[in-house]
Amino acid sequence: MERLKQQIREHGKILSDKVLKLDALLNHQVEPSLIMEMGQEFARRFQGDNITKVITVESSGIPVAFATACHLGVPMVFAKRKKTLTTDEDCYMERVPSFTKGIVTDIMVSKSFLSPQDRLLFIDDIIANGDAARGLIRIIERAESQLAGMGIVVEKSFQKGAQTIREQGIRLESLVNITGLTDGIIHFDS
């Protein structure tokens, strides 16, 4: 997606060798027409996969997951983040560390929204180490839902999250691949 790459070049702020601030287009402000384009592209890539639901984790995955679900004509579910661990019989809960925030949070999905009949497309904004993603994958496994694949807007391939997930045999599609953030330059794979 050339338009997305151009927006990242224009608005992305390199905070360190590992972190790229994308508040202007993904994590604080969003441009609806660009988000809808991302959703259309994910929908195109997973068109023949009998997706029954799109799933993500709040908060930054929600706009793109919504756009994808909109294009596929299926519901969208977002895992909620909880600050305190409350055991709830009706929920799947997993503890995940956060790369950028340096904290641990619990994510949860109500059992009523996931079933073994579901074939899920997991959408997220950025993948770094993949801890949050693995937490949601564990929830999907516990629900015995099928995971058709993952759609990630920005893959940072110099961190190990996406690779580890692909090694598990999960199909992971990204819209842009950032190979490094060295010398104040955003390096793309192509």
Which residue ranges make up the annotated binding site for xanthine? 20, 27, 156
Residue 133 binding: pick among ligand G4P, Na ion, none (C-beta 5-8 Å cut-off by kind)? ligand G4P
Q: Specify the residue, 28 or 44, whose C-beta has the smaller distance to ligand G4P.
A: 28
Which residues, other chains included, contact 55 with Cβ-Cβ below 8 Å and sequence gap of 6+? Answer: 65, 76, 77, 78, 79, 109, 114, 120, 121, 122, 123, 136, 140
The Cα–Cα gap between 164 and 51 comes to: 23
Closest CA to 43 of 18, 73, 3: 73
Residues of each annotated binding site: 20, 27, 128-132, 156
Query: Under the criterion CB under 5 A, does residue 60 sit at the interface with Na ion?
Result: yes
Query: Under the criterion CB under 5 A, does residue 61 sit at the interface with Na ion?
Result: yes
Helices 32-45, 2-11: axis angle to 10 degrees equals 140
The Cα–Cα gap between 3 and 22 comes to: 15
Q: Specify the residue, 19 or 48, whose C-beta has the smaller distance to ligand G4P.
A: 19
Q: Specify the residue, 74 or 133, whose C-beta has the smaller distance to ligand G4P.
A: 133
Radius of gyration of the chain (CA): 16
Residue the block writes with tokens 């287009």: 25
Residue 168 binding: pick among ligand G4P, Na ion, none (C-beta 5-8 Å cut-off by kind)? none
Task: Dump strand ranges (E) for the chain.
Answer: 13-14, 20-21, 53-57, 76-82, 91-97, 104-110, 119-127, 146-156, 172-180, 187-188
Taking residues 87 to 126 in sequence order and writing x for each that binds Na ion by CB under 5 A, - otherwise, the string is -------------------------------------xx-
Taking residues 146 to 185 in sequence order and writing x for each that binds Na ion by CB under 5 A, - otherwise, the string is ----------------------------------------
31 φ, ψ to 5°?
-100, 105
Residue 157 binding: pick among Na ion, ligand G4P, none (C-beta 5-8 Å cut-off by kind)? none
Give the residues lining the site for ligand G4P (CB under 6 A). 19-22, 27, 57, 59-61, 98-101, 124-133, 156, 161
Residue 130 binding: pick among ligand G4P, Na ion, none (C-beta 5-8 Å cut-off by kind)? ligand G4P
